[in-house]
Amino acid sequence: MSTENEGTAVPADHPAASSTPSTPQTPPTPQTPPTPPTTTPVPEATPTQAPAPAPAPAPEPTAAMPTPAAAGAGWPPPPPTVPAWGAPVPPAPPAPAAPRRRAGGLVAAVLVAALVAGGIGGGIGYWAAQRGDEGVSSTTVSSGEAPASFKREPGTVAAVAAKALPSVVTIQAKSGGSQGEGGTGTGFVYDQEGHIVTNNHVVASAAEGGTLSVTFPDGKSYDAEVVGRAEGYDVAVLKLTNAPKGLKPLPLGDSEKVAVGDSTIAIGAPFGLSNTVTTGIISAKDRPVASGDGSGGSNSYMSALQTDASINPGNSGGPLLDASGAVIGINSAIQSTGSGFGQTQAGSIGLGFAIPVNQAKNVAQQLIRTGKPVYPVIGATVNMQEQGEGATIASQGSGGTPSVTPDGPAAKAGLKAGDVITGFGDHQIDSGPSLISEIWTHKPGDQVKITYERDGKTSTATVTLGERTGDS
């Protein structure tokens, strides 16, 4: 309810408030012009009573003007000698005492302005009504007059979403335990054979004796089973047990060519709301992200694409698309205000992270071929807690083993315990997680230049990456 002028009384009746001029029943008889009454000016600061308009005097008779005897000769008659609205001239009210100057003057001025605006609107409305009687047609366009075949241009969000949505699925995972715990996530069609790519953490609860169902936007659901999953990459591949014909895989883009500022479209089921589309941009690249608690063997590491598209729990495993509709990443983690990286029940704050599709594609192909992930390694254990100074090779490995694997890639490159790795290829390294994230963007056998510091001296070496199969 608007309270714009609440408490300010407006007069109910005004001498000049008649909205319809009176229509004479018979032609009026010319009258002798009356002597205009003497009026007293009303102060301008009083909004409740305006001076009455002076009557228009009758014109002087001329030889061509009809006489009273000719009053019935026809219409129109001579101009009336009363005001245009047809009402008698009211007596002028006595002049009120000059108002005291106070803050209330501003309220009066606002009220006057409102009344003036209303008067203008009423005058225009009356004029428009009169013009409408003369046959002026309305220019209002109804929805029925809109183009019959409205089409959204290719490249618009609506067009990209309409094309991609049929290939994005909602995944229901249920564990095999007595409690039947599980959750909801997202995935997308990878090929026509019925493979679905998603995050490992979406299906982990159902991987051992649980059940998985996949629902398409048309409402049809299918049972699915895990083909393979990679904890470290946070990637998993499912297979529909009775895949329907006509599946349309989403096209895969090139995450290496993505630039900061590129438009992004995320599709998923945030908080179980399937087929939700959000938009944003690539706000950063090569973000080192550990999607667990930052320690432990079950964490996943990625050199992520950062986006401000709204991503929430349930978006996990869904595609991050570019403006052409190609997949450039798999939505995997969010920055939470309360608990660091990871998929929690906190909402989006505009910091979402996606696994680059080039890496996800390599992992998916490996899982489809063998069912197990293959990780590139340098053969050295690094400190995962320190940040800001690089990745320091630990003094010893887990269980008291050597921190640098004998005859491994790092050992062959000349690295030793205590060395601080500050660069890997073209990327700066500031911590253990950032080093692992960069290593896992490569393949076993790749040769990469490493920059490291030893005893305050900076050196470089070339390492040929080894490999490790499985998550154990």
Q: Which of 274, 316, 336, 403 is catalytic?
A: 316
Q: Which amino acid is at 197?
A: V
Provide CB contacts within 8 A for 157, sequence distance 6+: 265, 277, 279
Q: How far apart are CA 326 and CA 319, in angstroms?
A: 9
Check if the beta carbon of residue 8 is closer than 8 Å to that of residue 111. Answer: yes
Q: How far apart are CA 396 and CA 284, in angstroms?
A: 35
Q: Which helix (H) or strand (E) holds 170?
A: strand 168-174
Q: Which of 167, 175, 195, 201 is catalytic?
A: 201
Q: Which of 349, 323, 350 is nearest to 338 (CA)?
A: 349
Q: How far apart are CA 226 and CA 253, in angstroms?
A: 25
How many other CB atoms are there within 10 angstroms of residue 469's CB atom? 12
Residue whose entry in the numeric block shows the structure tokens 């950032």? 434
Residue by residue, DSSP assigns 259-328 as -TT-EEEEEE-GGG-TTEEEEEEEEEEEEEEESSSS-STT--EEEEEEE-S---TT-TT-EEE-TTS-EE
What is the Cα 231 distance to its own chain's centre? Answer: 31
Cis peptide before 34 (omega within 30 of 0): no
Q: Is 234 a catalytic residue?
A: yes
Residue whose entry in the numeric block shows the structure tokens 């100057």? 101
Q: Is 201 a catalytic residue?
A: yes
Check if the beta carbon of residue 262 is closer than 8 Å to that of residue 307. Answer: no
Q: Which of 167, 175, 195, 234 is catalytic?
A: 234
Active site residues: 201, 234, 316
